[in-house]
Structures are given as structure tokens and as C-alpha cells.
């Protein structure tokens, strides 16, 4: 026995010796890891303690041999040295600044020290690669892998982290960011977006000053109702369309998020982005992987215009469901009927849809519930069976009738939610997120189902699966989500002995699981993501959706601003815009605005007078002729509505042979100067020749735009065209075609 121990001891010593040598060798060697797109370079580098730091974030360096000289050029090396630029800042040991990760080990120890272990770069195709870097704690069996997925041409980076351990019992993750970036430029400007119902996506730009500026959400579902996971960072000066270094970022997570922008004492910027740790300590069992959501960002050294175009290209090609495909124009009955309809009324509207020339009819809220009919928003949610009074022949009948009329049929659902006045609530109280000891709190008279519970996941999946099984020709789903999570508490987690603080994360992962299953069986059916307006729009959930609903506010003047601000992050093909009766703008104005995206109608077509009806039909025909430019072309934002009397933007095809320019009056003051200056175009070929044509002219109106005249691209992009927007011509659409 003694012998054995001695042998073991000496074996351990030898091992230890080798281990020491190899550790010394590794730590002596500085490792530099470049994360490079075509126009940006991030350099990560180990220090002599083997900690991984961000030493550079900026324009690409031509000579890789100079990568090793970068760190020495900066003098951020006083007593705080190393605190700020950690590539993934741990808490509990040497670090005192805002951490990216904070954990409590199985034995209760609250410290973490992450050291570089190894890294690899995997090429997916000639444009795409993933670099992964393993960091390991030197005392505990705890490791973190940082992932950087890079699309070189689009200058887009997706960054996430995987956390795992082999400790004896569960570890508590108290904070677990997706990304921890470090920028050493001088002066940083942040544009964040604030919102509320009907006022989504309102930009506010400010210079970041000492301290931490936090943008976060604690709403659970409808996470971006008040604050937004999309942001614009600009370096050196405020963001502008065609100049300067900018980063368009988004935390792709459909629930609580937290973005911390910290100016440190060197006046550098630390960005820590991830799931909001608020009420979300996560219990991680040994050998399970916790994958954080992604921080996705597009970079440009030529302003927000180029960054958006790249992000749109990336989204269409790699992210949004069927991003390079087609979309269905539609007539929706929500604002036409609200809850007040039956099958005859609905079938009657099919004719209008057909006559207008749209592809599909969308039946909105109110078609279900029997014991508690869904005749208003107070009852029936959760009981996904056709209301026998309103739809005595079921949905199948409507699908068939629509088909007879030559249009497709789609339907509204809100499967994550329940009204307390419903059979679902009566039968499955334990499926509802609610605190047993407290009075219930409602948001729009409803509550959220507990998607951390696999039974609830099955239920939600079943709602959609049933609809498609019974109605295989159902062509479209509008998936709504109108309530936030109040009284966050899960009966399921309680029963399973899982901490309540897993709820927000497990809910969201449960939602993605359901969507994954739906897409496995129904890969292509178009689905609109709606959240009582624009409460949800991120590139994680948009893997499963073809489009989203930006806001219930369809007042077209408001929409010019809102659509402009969404356009920084989302391509027009993903943005559903409906023509409604909101506001005082003429029909033409409303249609023109809704045409800058995926066009739909939510009006009583029968109420249109003959001229309006004819105009509508012509405008839809026109839309069909230019929609591929809007959906698949390059967006050039020309005149910002926040800064000008008119707003203008255009879409150009990749060949630069066709374009469509949208111009609107956004200031109704009498002395506004809209007509004085031309609108300078962009994105054309200076050497090509073009003709202009005003389209969507209201019957009886003539256009001052000369359609015979030939212009060079050079002229149009230096002098421009004057759309003559004025109080009598409040919206002007101009088609541009190359002349050979």
C-alpha cells in the first residue's frame, strides 16, 4: 500500500512537472487571434498571465506580422491594467469592473478566473467562418467557449458563448453575457430605441459618458415594447448615413436582455451584452451546455447606410426564413370587422381581396372559443376551436371558399396566451404563469402560458399542427403575443424542483423548441411575427418567421418615421405594412408608405368609392411590378424624416438598372422648403443612363416629372431630381429605368 502511494506520488510529481513545463510554455507564448471581416479587424491576445484580452478593434491591418505590435502602442497599463479589456470578464477574483460572467460554484465559491486554453477556426464556406476559443478556470472544472461567426463580405459578426462544467453538483450562473467587446476610439455615440404601444422604435442618440448606460428589458415576452435590443454605436462622431465608423447591433433573444455600455477610466468603451441577469440566476447541471443567445453586429467605415445594406443582405441570405423568396400581399379583416363577423361576412370579403388583386385573405382574432366565445379580448383565448356560431362550417369551409375565389387563406393565432375566462384556464391552471399567493395581474385581460413546461410546449405545437393537419391549404399564420409576463412563477419548475429563476430563460428556449418543431414539419409556410404591435423582432426568432409586424400604429406619417428606424436593422421584405383608415392622409399616401415593405390592406374595400377602388387596384399592379426591388434590392436612405421637411429613400437592383424612389412630405408647415432642392439619389451607376417615371399617380393628376428625358447616373447622384413634393403632392413615387 505504502509502495503504491509512493509510486503514485512520484507519478503525480512527474506529471505535475510536465504540466508545469507545458503551462509555463503556454503562458510564455503570446497567442493572437484575429477576428476579421473585409472592413474590420478585432484582435484578441493573451497576456503573460494567459488571460485573453481585446487589444484592437478597427480597420484591418495589412501586415499580420504587425498584429503583435498593437498592444504596445497603447498605454493603458497602470494599476488597473487588464481589468477593462478582458475578452470575457469574469467576476470574483481580480476584476472589479462590470463582469460578463459571474458564477457560484457547486461548493459555494463565488470566484472565476478564465485562462486561455486553445482556439480553432472552422471554415464553413469561402465567406463564412467560426472561431471558437476555450477559456478555462485554473481551479474549478469550469469552462467557457467564446464563438465568433464571421461573414466576411457582409462585415457581420455573430458572437455567443457556451458555458459548461464538470463540478460535482449544479453551478449557479448569476450572469452569462453573450459578448464582451472593447473599443479604444475617442468618443462614442449610442443610438438606442425607446418604445411603447403604438410608439415603437423611437431613436435617441447620445454621447456616452463616464459610467454605465444600460438598455434592458424585464418584460419576459414582448421584450422590446419599452426598450429595444437593437442599437447603433458610432465612433468619433454621431452616426451618419454615408460616413464614419458605425456598428449596428442586436441582441438576438426574444426575452429579457441587457446591454451595458460602460465608459471606463481610460475613456474606452466596454460593451457587455446578453440575457438580462435580472431574476435569472440559472442552475446549470454538470456536463450540460448553456448556450447564450447571440450578439449580432454589422460594421461599416462608411456610415449606417452601408452597414444596413450589409445587414439586410446577411439577413435575407442567412437568417430570415425564406429571406430571398417571395411574399404574399393580403387583405386583413382586423380593422374592418374587429371581433364582429361570421362566415358569410368573411367569405364576402374574399371577393374584395380578389377584386383588389392581393394574394391572400388573413382572418384575424375572434374566430374561436365556444363556452367563452372570443367576441372581445376578455374571453376565449386558449380555446382554439372555431366558434360554432360565427363559423358553423369551420375553417375548412373558409379555406375552400377562398380557393374558389382564387385567393389563399391565412389565420391569426396567439398560442402562448390565455384569458382567465377560457376552458384552457379552467382545465390547466398549472400551465399558466401566475403566483399562487397573489392576485392575478392581467395585460390586455390575458396571461402567459408556461412554455418552460414540455406539456405546454406540446400544446402550443399542437395548436399549429392541428390547424395545418385539418387545413393543409392554410397558407399563412399571424402569430401574435399581446401580454408581458407578470407574477413570474412556474408551477412546473416548482414541481420539478428547478429554481424559479430559470423561468425566463427556459420559457424562451421552450418557445424556440416549439418553433423548431413547427419548422421541421412545415418548413416554408409564411408566418408573421406580431407582438401586439412591434414587441418582438430579433434575428433569433426570425429564423422561424418570414416577416414581422412593426406596430399597430398604421398612421402613415408615423409609419414613415417608424419604418425608417426599423430599416437600419431589418430588410423591407421582413416588414409588414398595412394600408388602414388611420389618420388623415389620402389613400395614395397610405398605399405609397405601405409599399415600402410587404404590402397589405386592412380596410373595408367595399367602402371605397369607384376612383379609390380603381386607384387601389392600379397601385397593387404597380407594386407587383416593383416589389422585387423593395424586397431584394439595396436600400439607400436619402432624406431622414427626423431632419428634413421631406423624407426620401430608394431601392436599387444589384445590376443598378432599376430603382424606385419614395418621397414624402413630413412637415405640413406652409413655408416649408421641400420643393426648393432636388433629392440627391444614390446607388446608381454614374456611367449608366436612366429615364424617370412617376407612378401611383392618382386618377386625374398629371406629373411634373419628365418621363422622356434621359439623365446620367452621375447627374442623378450629384444634382438629383426634384420630385416636387408639396402640400398638394404629399407623396411621390418615381420609377427609374436604365436606357440602353
- Name the minimum Å distance from CB 423 to ligand GLA: 19
Q: How far is the CB of 170 from ligand GLA (least distance, A)?
A: 40
Q: Is residue 547 within 8 Å of 574, Cβ to Cβ?
A: yes
412 or 631: CB nearest ligand GLA: 412
CB of 560 to ligand GLA, least distance (A): 20
Q: Which residue number, 39 or 333, has a Cβ lying nearer to ligand GLA?
A: 333
**Cβ 531 to ligand GLA, closest distance in Å?**
7
| Minimum separation from the CB atom of position 197 to ligand GLA (A) | 9
Of 532 and 556, the one with the shorter C-beta distance to ligand GLA is 532
Does residue 132 contact residue 147 with C-beta atoms inside 8 Å?
Answer: yes
- Is the CB of 364 or the CB of 555 nearer to ligand GLA? 364
511 vs 528, beta carbon nearer ligand GLA:
528
Residue placing its CB nearer to ligand GLA in the complex, 443 or 662: 443
Nearest-Å Rg of the Cα atoms of the chain is 28
Residues found near ligand GLA in the complex (CB under 6 A): 334, 364-365, 377, 412, 480, 482, 530, 532-533, 549, 552
HEC assignment per residue over 225-274: CCEEEEEEEEECCCCCCCCEEEEEEEEECCCCEEEEEEECCCCCEEEEEE
Q: What is the DSSP string of 19-77?
A: HHHHHHHHHHS--EEEEE-SS-EEEEEE-TT--EEEEEEESPPS-GGGGGGHHHH----
Using the minimum distance from each CB to ligand GLA, give the nearer residue, 262 or 552.
552
**Nearer of residues 538 and 576 to ligand GLA, judged by Cβ:** 576
| Phi, psi dihedrals of residue 526, rounded to the nearest 5° | -65, 135
How near is the Cβ of 362 to ligand GLA at its closest, in Å? 9
To ligand GLA, the closest distance from the beta carbon of 129 in angstroms equals 39
Q: Which three cell numbers mark 564? A: 425608417
Q: Closest separation between CB of residue 535 and ligand GLA, Å?
A: 9
CB nearer to ligand GLA: pick between 227 and 482 = 482
Minimum Å gap between C-beta 690 and ligand GLA is 39
CB 89 within 8 A of CB 98: yes
Question: Smallest gap, in angstroms, from Cβ of residue 366 to ligand GLA?
Answer: 8
390 sits in which H/E element = none
The 3-class SS string of 102-122 reads EEECCCCCCCCCEEEEEEEEE
Rounded CA-CA distance 601/584 in Å is 16
Backbone phi, psi, residue 587, to 5°: -55, -45
How far, in Å, CA of 262 to CA of 210, rounded? Answer: 7
Residue 189 has a CB neighbour count (10 Å cut-off) of: 18
CB of 332 to ligand GLA, least distance (A): 8
Nearest CA to 589 out of 701, 675, 458 is that of 701
In terms of CB distance, is 220 or 293 closer to ligand GLA? 220
Please identify, using beta-carbon distances, which residue of 179 and 460 lies nearer to ligand GLA.
Answer: 460
Q: Which is nearer to ligand GLA, 160 or 549 (CB)?
A: 549
Beta bridge partner(s), residue 63:
none
CB of 530 to ligand GLA, least distance (A): 5
The DSSP secondary-structure symbol of 319 reads I
Choose between 56 and 548: whose C-beta lies nearer to ligand GLA. Answer: 548
The neighbour count for residue 622, using CB atoms within 10 Å, is 19
CA distance 154 to 313: 7
Asked if 234 and 243 count as a contact pair (C-beta separation under 8 A), the reply is no
Q: How far is the CB of 414 from ligand GLA (least distance, A)?
A: 7
- With CB atoms as reference, the residue minimizing the distance to ligand GLA is 365
State the Cα torsion 372-378-384-390 to the nearest 10°. 60
In degrees rounded to 5, what are phi and psi of residue 173?
-90, 115
Residue written as grid cell 411603447: 196
Instruction: Please state whether beta strands 360-363 and 408-413 pair in parallel, antiparallel, or not at all (unpaired).
Output: parallel
Amino acid at each position: 500500500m505504502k509502495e503504491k502511494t509512493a509510486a503514485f506520488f512520484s507519478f503525480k510529481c512527474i506529471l505535475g512537472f510536465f504540466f508545469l513545463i507545458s503551462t509555463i510554455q503556454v503562458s510564455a507564448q503570446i497567442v493572437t487571434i484575429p477576428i476579421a471581416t473585409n472592413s474590420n479587424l478585432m484582435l484578441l491576445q493573451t497576456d503573460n498571465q494567459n488571460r485573453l484580452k481585446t487589444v484592437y478593434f478597427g480597420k484591418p491591418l495589412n501586415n499580420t506580422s504587425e498584429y503583435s505590435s498593437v498592444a504596445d502602442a497603447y498605454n493603458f497599463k497602470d494599476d488597473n491594467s487588464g481589468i477593462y479589456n478582458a475578452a470575457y470578464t469574469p467576476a470574483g477574483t481580480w476584476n472589479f469592473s462590470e463582469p460578463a460572467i459571474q458564477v457560484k460554484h457547486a461548493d459555494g465559491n463565488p470566484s472565476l478566473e478564465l485562462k486561455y486554453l486553445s482556439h480553432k477556426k472552422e471554415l464553413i464556406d469561402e465567406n463564412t467562418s467560426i472561431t471558437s476559443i476555450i477559456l478555462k478556470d485554473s481551479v474549478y472544472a469550469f469552462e467557457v467557449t467564446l464563438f465568433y461567426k464571421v461573414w466576411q463580405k457582409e462585415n457581420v459578426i455573430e458572437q455567443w458563448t457556451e458555458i459548461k462544467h464538470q463540478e460535482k453538483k449544479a453551478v449557479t450562473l448569476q450572469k452569462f453575457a453573450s459578448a464582451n467587446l472593447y473599443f479604444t476610439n475617442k468618443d462614442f455615440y449610442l443610438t438606442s430605441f425607446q418604445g411603447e404601444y403604438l410608439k415603437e422604435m423611437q431613436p435617441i442618440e447620445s454621447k456616452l459618458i463616464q459610467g454605465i448606460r444600460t438598455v434592458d428589458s424585464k418584460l419576459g415576452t414582448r421584450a422590446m415594447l419599452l426598450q429595444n435590443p437593437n442599437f447603433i454605436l458610432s465612433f468619433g462622431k454621431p452616426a451618419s448615413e454615408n460616413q464614419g465608423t458605425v456598428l449596428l447591433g442586436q441582441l438576438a433573444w426574444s426575452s429579457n436582455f441587457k446591454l451595458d455600455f460602460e465608459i471606463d477610466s481610460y475613456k474606452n468603451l466596454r460593451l457587455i451584452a446578453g440575457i438580462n441577469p435580472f431574476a435569472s440566476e440559472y442552475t446549470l447541471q454538470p456536463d450540460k451546455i448553456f448556450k447564450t443567445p447571440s450578439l449580432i453586429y454589422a460594421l461599416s467605415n462608411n456610415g449606417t447606410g452601408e452597414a444596413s445594406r450589409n445587414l439586410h443582405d446577411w439577413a435575407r441570405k442567412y437568417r430570415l426564413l425564406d429571406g430571398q423568396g417571395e411574399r404574399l400581399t393580403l387583405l386583413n379583416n382586423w380593422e374592418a370587422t374587429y371581433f364582429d363577423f361570421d362566415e358569410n361576412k368573411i367569405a364576402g370579403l374574399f371577393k374584395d381581396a380578389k377584386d383588389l388583386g392581393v394574394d391572400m385573405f388573413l382572418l384575424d382574432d375572434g374566430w374561436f372559443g365556444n363556452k367563452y366565445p372570443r367576441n372581445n379580448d376578455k374571453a376565449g383565448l386558449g380555446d382554439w376551436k372555431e366558434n360554432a356560431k360565427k363559423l358553423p362550417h369551420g375553417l375548412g369551409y373558409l379555406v375552400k371558399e377562398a380557393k374558389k375565389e382564387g385567393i389563399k387563406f391565412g389565420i391569426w393565432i396567439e398560442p402562448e396566451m390565455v384569458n382567465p375566462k377560457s376552458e384552457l384556464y379552467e382545465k390547466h391552471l398549472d400551465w399558466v404563469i401566475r403566483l399562487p399567493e397573489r392576485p392575478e395581474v392581467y395585460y390586455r385581460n390575458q396571461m402567459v402560458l408556461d412554455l418552460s413546461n414540455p406539456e405546454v410546449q406540446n400544446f402550443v405545437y399542437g395548436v399549429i399542427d392541428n390547424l395545418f393537419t385539418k387545413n393543409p391549404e392554410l397558407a399563412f399564420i399571424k402569430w401574435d403575443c399581446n401580454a408581458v409576463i407578470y407574477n413570474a412563477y412556474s408551477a412546473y419548475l416548482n414541481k420539478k424542483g428547478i429554481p424559479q429563476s430559470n423561468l425566463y430563460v427556459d420559457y424562451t428556449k421552450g418557445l424556440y423548441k416549439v418553433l423548431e418543431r413547427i419548422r421541421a414539419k412545415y418548413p416554408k409556410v409564411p408566418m408573421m411575427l406580431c407582438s401586439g404591435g412591434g414587441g418582438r423582432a430579433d434575428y433569433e426568432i426570425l429564423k422561424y418567421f418570414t416577416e414581422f409586424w412593426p406596430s399597430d400604429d398604421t398612421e402613415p406619417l408615423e409609419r414613415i418615421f417608424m419604418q425608417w428606424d426599423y430599416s437600419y436593422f431589418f430588410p423591407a421584405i421582413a416588414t409588414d405594412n398595412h394600408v388602414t383608415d388611420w389618420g388623415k392622409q389620402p389613400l395614395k399616401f397610405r398605399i405609397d408608405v405601405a409599399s415600402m415593405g410587404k404590402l397589405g390592406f386592412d380596410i373595408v374595400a367595399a367602402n371605397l368609392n369607384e376612383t379609390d377602388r380603381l386607384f387601389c387596384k392600379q397601385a397593387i399592379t404597380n407594386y407587383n411590378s416593383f416589389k422585387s426591388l423593395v424586397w431584394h434590392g439595396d436600400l439607400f436612405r436619402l432624406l431622414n424624416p427626423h431632419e428634413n421637411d421631406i423624407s426620401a429613400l430608394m431601392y436599387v437592383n444589384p445590376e443598378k438598372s432599376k430603382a424606385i424612389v419614395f418621397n414624402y412630405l413630413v412637415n405640413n408647415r406652409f413655408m416649408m422648403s421641400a420643393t426648393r432642392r432636388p433629392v440627391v439619389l444614390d446607388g446608381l451607376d454614374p456611367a449608366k443612363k436612366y429615364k424617370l417615371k412617376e407612378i401611383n399617380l392618382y386618377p386625374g393628376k398629371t406629373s411634373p416629372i419628365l418621363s422622356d428625358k434621359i439623365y446620367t447616373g452621375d447627374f442623378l447622384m450629384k444634382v438629383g431630381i426634384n420630385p416636387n413634393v408639396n402640400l398638394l403632392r404629399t407623396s411621390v413615387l418615381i420609377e427609374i429605368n436604365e436606357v440602353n
